[in-house]
Amino acid sequence: MKRIFFFFACFIGTTAFAQYSFKVIPLGVKGGGDESNLSCYMLAIAGTEDYICLDAGTIRAGLQISVATHALKGSAETLFRKNIKGYLISHAHLDHVAGLILNSPDESMKNIYCMPYVKDIFKEKYFTAGPWSNFSDEGERPLNKYHYVLMDPEKEIPLAQTNMLVTAFPLSHGNPYKSTAFLVRHNENYILYLGDTGPDELEHSDCLTTLWKYIAPLLKTKKLKGIFIECSYPDEQPDDKLFGHLNPRWLIAELDRLTVMTGDLALRNFPVVITHIKPGGDREEQIKKQLTAGNHLGVRFIYAKQGKALLF
């Protein structure tokens, strides 16, 4: 009887995952200020356990919480060393890389996928012989834990050991500082993750416009399964104090610009995961209320929680 139940449970689990393309485990979801809950999202093909991390602000604490909530199975140590196959790093601000840096002594050999402007900061500021040992395979006294895989804009490359591929797009995060968006693909299914970004109008940039033009056909054909995008501050934050981030008003404005390219119905009930809310006071509730009030497009806004799995 136990054996029959086991096979039945496996069949149900496989059938459930067959409805989805991707699985995401948030290891950290906040903007800077809470060192135990900083931007990091484990992404895998649904039904598999080979993950890539989208940013790496919090790792170990997020793995421990995810095991405790049963979002992940096994030990945090095993998941860290064996199931995380590499890191997609959008930019090198500490709230997006602190977990990677602090846990590097215990790492197995992995790839850091990034744009050249991210690698430069790692080599000059973090992985040196100064404030921290050099756990990369380049530069002074390398310890060979990480290998940099440099990305070119709009050029798809494979993510080793995952059966996924990724395309990078530069973002403006307090011009001239740059961040990155990652469009991850498996077969004909896509998911989009944006690192920190300001709106094109304030950044005097066309980075988001370029990204929206690229993904518009994927959204119209329903190949794009979800978008992860930041909304760091409520609307009360003045434009000159956004520091290269979005608030609800500017996020809605950017989604409006996307629908000009796709049609008004393309985003109706489409999952948009809100990331990088800055901790403090009632900011999260303010942002939720303001996004709800401005949601004339019918977007399905999702607020990621540390250790709670998401399926797309």
User: pLDDT (tens digit, 0 to 9) for every residue of the chain, 312 residues total?
Assistant: 444 333 333 434 444 566 999 999 999 999 988 899 999 999 999 999 999 999 999 999 999 999 999 999 999 999 999 999 999 999 999 999 999 999 999 999 999 999 999 999 999 999 998 889 999 999 989 999 999 999 999 999 999 999 999 999 999 999 999 999 999 999 999 999 999 999 999 999 999 999 999 999 999 999 999 999 999 999 999 999 999 999 999 999 999 999 999 998 999 999 999 999 999 889 999 999 999 999 999 999 999 999 999 999
Q: Considering only CA atoms, which of 91, 121, 109, 103 is closest in space to residue 58? A: 103
How many residues belong to the chain?
A: 312
Q: How far apart are CA 178 and CA 171, in angstroms?
A: 6
What's the pLDDT score for residue 10?
42
CATH topology of domain 19-304: Metallo-beta-lactamase; Chain A (3.60.15)
What's the pLDDT score for residue 2?
40
Find out whether 216 and 260 touch, Cβ atoms under 8 Å.
Answer: no
Angle of helix 248-262 versus helix 283-293 axis, rounded to 10: 40
Q: How far apart are CA 71 and CA 216, in angstroms?
A: 32
The bridge status of strand 300-303 relative to strand 22-28 is unpaired
For the chain, the domains span: 19-304
Predicted TM-score (pTM) of the model is: 0.94
Find out whether 90 and 195 touch, Cβ atoms under 8 Å.
Answer: yes
Find out whether 149 and 118 touch, Cβ atoms under 8 Å.
Answer: no
What's the pLDDT score for residue 16?
57
